Amino acid sequence: MNNKYSSENMDRYFNDPEYRKSFSGEKKPQKRRVNKNYWIILLITGIILGGGGLLFMIHLFSGLPSLEQLENPKPELATNVYSIDGVVLDRYFIINRSRVTLDEVPDHLIQALLLMEDRKFYRHWGIDVDRVIKQTVKNVIDMRVRGGYSTLSQQVARNLYLTQEFTIARKLREAITAVQIERTYTKDEILEMYLNIVFFGRGTFGIASAAQMYYGKIPADLTLSESALLIGLLPGPALYDPFNHPERAKNRRNLVLSIMYDQGAISEEVYHQTRNEEIFLRERDIHAVTGIAPHFVEYVRRQLSRLSEQYGFDLYRDGLHVYTTLDSRMQQHANRAVEEHLEQYQANFTRRWNWNTRKNREILQIALNQSIRDHDDFRRATTAESRDSIRTALMNDTTFVNDVKKRSTKIETGFVAIDPKSGHILSMIGGSDFRTFRYGLNRAVQIQRQSGSAFKPFVFTVAIDNGYAPSYELLNQPVVMQVAGNQQWRPTNADGTFGGRNTMREGLARSINLIAVRAILEIAPVSEVIQYSRRMGITSTIPPYPSISLGTSELSPLEITSAYGVFANEGIHVEPISILRIEDKDGNLIADFSPNRREVLSRETAYLMTDMLVDVIDGGTGIAVRNFFNYPAAGKTGTTQDFADAWFVGYTPQITAGVWVGFDDRRVTFHDWSDGQGSRAAMPIWARYMKYVYEDRTIGLPVEYFNRPDDIIETVICNDTKMIATEFCPSRTSELFNGRWMPDSCDTHTSFRRDEDRRRGATSY
């Protein structure tokens, strides 16, 4: 037996490695066979990773802006609407953003921005690498993900071209786009873009919108304190909102000032002086939200929406400049007049209203049923049982019922003022909700209500144009007419009296119904009244019946006011307009507008009607105007059946204005003559408006008189014989006549003052 420990074997052990391995029990490693599946798995994994990377790169670059988009950025800009005196009335926008150039921004605001947001802005190439590294380290140490990486260029990329989502893909796109932006634009251009798109809170984007929202200023007028506050808002506009959190906002402003001082941007003296300044923001009234003329702005918006297709603009994104006819100062006076009158008038009406009468209980029940049907809970209900339950609950809800009562008896108004010579709409109020209105009914334009006696001037216009003098007498006697079926029309005077004869002048001044009825039956045919009304600007349908002489046709305040403008403008009708011109964001003209003009009456007829309407104010149903307004003026009251609608339409040589006062629910009416007359319900708004406008020295309207044409002559007539007066006439009166004809006998007139007498007595004007 071979001994493995023999000397011979031991020598071999130390000299033969192979033998040594066998001696130690080690086995020679065998070659392993590789599984083919391994290579397949490896190949598939590589394809997946490579394909995924490729797809990610495709996804990443497909989300980048194109070269054309980079060179022609199109931020959504708000459309600004301007008054004729340069005030921004409102904006139309999806994003509330206005555009300014860098030259329009104060240097201290730019310094504050760069120091707070991007100190290396003029030295980096779109990405601040040092800043990225430092912020990343901070995030790792704090074990949280925070912002702070982005340069101004990256913020421009995100706000102008990309989304706001926080993902790796978006951050990479942001960085790539920032570099592309740096290659495409100069630093100043990038800074200007940033200032025009950054969010400042309260729905405002860009420094122009922010300056207007918080201070009511343009950027160039911002003080150092104001600029520091606005820049301080950028990291958290809601957190530092100066309206809701004034102390936070002040501390944030002072931090900005402190950094500006530390970096040498402001002196120590300026720093200490500014940090102690109080924050004075734009007054937080409702007009800051709705503007001073919300009904007018909505009226303009509807027109622009129709024009957008014709001219190819986007009203909400293209940053248009729309210049309108409205005068902001006159609009403020209109708001004041309506508010002052309706506040007191509503209180008096509500005090007298009684819900316990049979008629009023029926009105309330109808109003409640409608309000319940419009209620969100009722609309969402899917079964009859649930709807009945909701109806019962609402009917027993005192707050709900009281709200319906209040809305049902709310006095509404429609007011519009027009320059009769240019057609410019100067003021417009579409309802008593002008402080809260956003969208809804504009009663200056969209309602149509019976005009009552305010329509009578159109009847007498036809009579005058047919050659009848203002002193022409008509019977003040009852009329009975057969109408449809077996019905009879029996018009009466408002006071129930009648008798004798009255001139047309008296009939208009005292608003005698039977004189107007006799006129349309005898000297001013219905067909001609309709024809003249159309020529003068009435667009609503006028039924061909004699009853229109009492104002049964339904008109809007805008159209009847425009028609009265013919009298003020010496027989020329100028179609009312609200938009003067539209410009694009760069000030290039898109469209301009001018009104249609046409002569519809002779100057003589227009003046004679004006002279008659002056008597309405100087001694007729509109005499209460003189409690407020003592300038030359003409006008007419209007009161409808059952005191449902009250009107006053009047004019001076420079302004024509019309007022309607009533209720949205036609079943609700004023109580009686004490509150339902046009002279009480509507006229005070007109008179207050005219008083405030003419007393406003910033507007500077001079006193003007109605110009009498040369062909209008003054004739002295005898009251007794009603012939041209002679030296034997016991009492004589003057009257105006159109020089086209000279009657050999004339009718009486007892209250006319000569034009020169009016001027002599005008010292109180």
Domain containing 270 — which CATH number? Answer: 1.10.3810.10
What mean pLDDT comes out for the span 348-370? 94
Overall domain count for the chain: 2
Number of Cβ within 10 Å of residue 119's Cβ equals 15
Are the CB atoms for 117 and 110 separated by under 8 Å?
Answer: no
Q: Is 256 within a domain?
A: yes
Q: Is 527 within a domain?
A: no
> pLDDT tens-digit profile of 715-764?
777 766 656 676 667 677 777 877 543 344 333 332 333 333 332 232 22
Retrieve residue 750's tokens. 């007892």
Residue 64 pLDDT exceeds 60: no
Q: Is 534 within a domain?
A: no
Q: How far apart are CA 139 and CA 217, in angstroms?
A: 40
The last residue of one of the domains, among 225, 256, 284, is 284
How many CA atoms does the CB half-sphere of 550 hold within 13 Å? 18
Retrieve residue 220's tokens. 């160039």
Q: How far apart are CA 433 and CA 82, in angstroms?
A: 22
What mean pLDDT comes out for the span 437-442? 79
Q: Give the pLDDT confidence score for residue 177 in this predicted structure.
A: 73
Rounded to a whole number of angstroms, the distance between the first and last alpha carbons of the chain is 152
Q: Give the pLDDT confidence score for residue 153 in this predicted structure.
A: 81
Q: Give the pLDDT confidence score for residue 158 in this predicted structure.
A: 74
Q: Is 492 within a domain?
A: no
User: Range with the lowest mean pLDDT among 63-77, 89-103, 397-411?
Assistant: 63-77
Residue environment code for 508-543, b if the CB has 16+ CB neighbours within 10 A, otherwise e:
bbbbbbbbbbbbbeebbebebbbebbebbbbeeebe
Q: Is 758 within a domain?
A: yes
User: What's the mean pLDDT when you consider all of the chain?
Assistant: 84
Number of Cβ within 10 Å of residue 632's Cβ equals 20
Q: Is 65 within a domain?
A: no
75 or 90, which is more confident: 90
Residue 659 β-bridge partners: 415, 648
Q: Give the pLDDT confidence score for residue 123 in this predicted structure.
A: 87
558 or 152, which is more confident: 558
The last residue of one of the domains, among 224, 256, 284, is 284
Q: Give the pLDDT confidence score for residue 563 in this predicted structure.
A: 98
In the three-class reduction of DSSP (H, G, I as helix; E, B as strand; rest coil), residue 583 is classed as strand
What mean pLDDT comes out for the span 387-411? 93
What mean pLDDT comes out for the span 267-282? 92
Are the CB atoms for 548 and 529 separated by under 8 Å?
Answer: yes
What mean pLDDT comes out for the span 279-292? 69
Q: Give the pLDDT confidence score for residue 734 in this predicted structure.
A: 76
658 or 715, which is more confident: 658
Strand intervals (E) in 663-704: none
Strand intervals (E) in 115-206: 199-201, 204-205
Distance from chain centroid for Cα 230:
27
User: Range with the lowest mean pLDDT among 124-128, 422-426, 755-759?
Assistant: 755-759
The last residue of one of the domains, among 256, 284, 312, is 284
At 179, is the pLDDT very low, low, confident or very high (cuts 50, 70, 90)? Answer: confident
At 414, is the pLDDT very low, low, confident or very high (cuts 50, 70, 90)? Answer: very high
Q: Give the pLDDT confidence score for residue 495 in this predicted structure.
A: 85
Q: Give the pLDDT confidence score for residue 741 in this predicted structure.
A: 39
Q: How far apart are CA 540 and CA 447, in angstroms?
A: 11
451 or 751, which is more confident: 451
User: Range with the lowest mean pLDDT among 16-30, 337-351, 504-518, 554-568?
Assistant: 16-30
Q: pTM (2 decimals)?
A: 0.77
In 285-327, which ranges are continuous DSSP H helix? 287-290, 294-311
User: Range with the lowest mean pLDDT among 112-116, 494-498, 621-625?
Assistant: 494-498
Q: How far apart are CA 38 and CA 36, in angstroms?
A: 5
Q: Give the pLDDT confidence score for residue 539 in this predicted structure.
A: 95
**Residue 650 main-chain phi, psi, to 5 deg:** -155, 175
Q: Give the pLDDT confidence score for residue 7 in this predicted structure.
A: 59
> pLDDT tens-digit profile of 205-255?
899 989 988 998 899 999 999 999 999 999 999 999 999 999 999 999 999
Quick one: which of 719, 746, 723, 741 has its CA closest to 731? 719
Q: Is 210 within a domain?
A: yes
Question: Which residue's structure tokens are 């029926």?
Answer: 362
Distance from chain centroid for Cα 616:
35
**Residue 616 main-chain phi, psi, to 5 deg:** -60, -40
Q: Give the pLDDT confidence score for residue 31 in this predicted structure.
A: 53
Residues with Cβ within 8 Å of 311's Cβ and at least 6 positions away in sequence, in order, are: 582, 590, 591
Q: At what angle do helices 557-568 and 456-465 cross, to 10 degrees?
A: 30
Residues with Cβ within 8 Å of 350's Cβ and at least 6 positions away in sequence, in order, are: 409
Q: How far apart are CA 379 and CA 332, in angstroms?
A: 40
Quick one: which of 396, 389, 347, 410 has its CA closest to 368? 396
Give percent of the chain with pLDDT exceeding 90. Answer: 59
Question: Which residue's structure tokens are 């003009």?
Answer: 597
Are the CB atoms for 736 and 714 separated by under 8 Å?
Answer: yes
**R_g of the chain computed on alpha carbons:** 41
Q: Give the pLDDT confidence score for residue 731 in this predicted structure.
A: 72
Q: How far apart are CA 444 and CA 299, in angstroms?
A: 10
Q: Give the pLDDT confidence score for residue 740 in this predicted structure.
A: 46
Retrieve residue 752's tokens. 């006319």
Residue type, 594: S
Q: Give the pLDDT confidence score for residue 764 in this predicted structure.
A: 25
Domain coverage including residue 195: 95-284
How many CA atoms does the CB half-sphere of 321 hold within 13 Å? 12
- Report how far apart, in Å, the C-alpha atoms of 181 and of each of 125, 177, 197, 449 are: 9, 6, 15, 60
Q: Give the pLDDT confidence score for residue 38 in this predicted structure.
A: 60
Q: Give the pLDDT confidence score for residue 460 in this predicted structure.
A: 97
> pLDDT tens-digit profile of 705-716?
999 998 887 777
Question: Which residue's structure tokens are 């929406």?
Answer: 305
Q: Give the pLDDT confidence score for residue 443 in this predicted structure.
A: 95
> What is the secondary structure of 232-264 as a DSSP string?
HHTT-TTTT-TTT-HHHHHHHHHHHHHHHHHTT
Quick one: which of 480, 550, 467 has its CA closest to 508? 550
Q: Indicate the pairing of strand 204-205 with strand 199-201.
A: antiparallel
Are the CB atoms for 157 and 70 separated by under 8 Å?
Answer: no
Residues with Cβ within 8 Å of 89's Cβ and at least 6 positions away in sequence, in order, are: 81, 82, 83, 291, 292, 293, 296, 297, 324, 326, 328
Q: How far apart are CA 422 and CA 597, in angstroms?
A: 9
Q: Which H helix or E strand runs over 131?
A: helix 129-142
Quick one: which of 163, 207, 162, 191 has its CA closest to 69? 162
Return the HEC string of 535-551: HHCCCCCCCCCHHHHHC
Residue 266 pLDDT exceeds 70: yes
What mean pLDDT comes out for the span 646-652? 97
Q: Is 310 within a domain?
A: no
180 Rama sector, left if φ>0, alpha if ψ -120 to 50, beta otherwise = alpha
What mean pLDDT comes out for the span 600-628? 95
Q: How far apart are CA 75 and CA 160, in angstroms?
A: 6
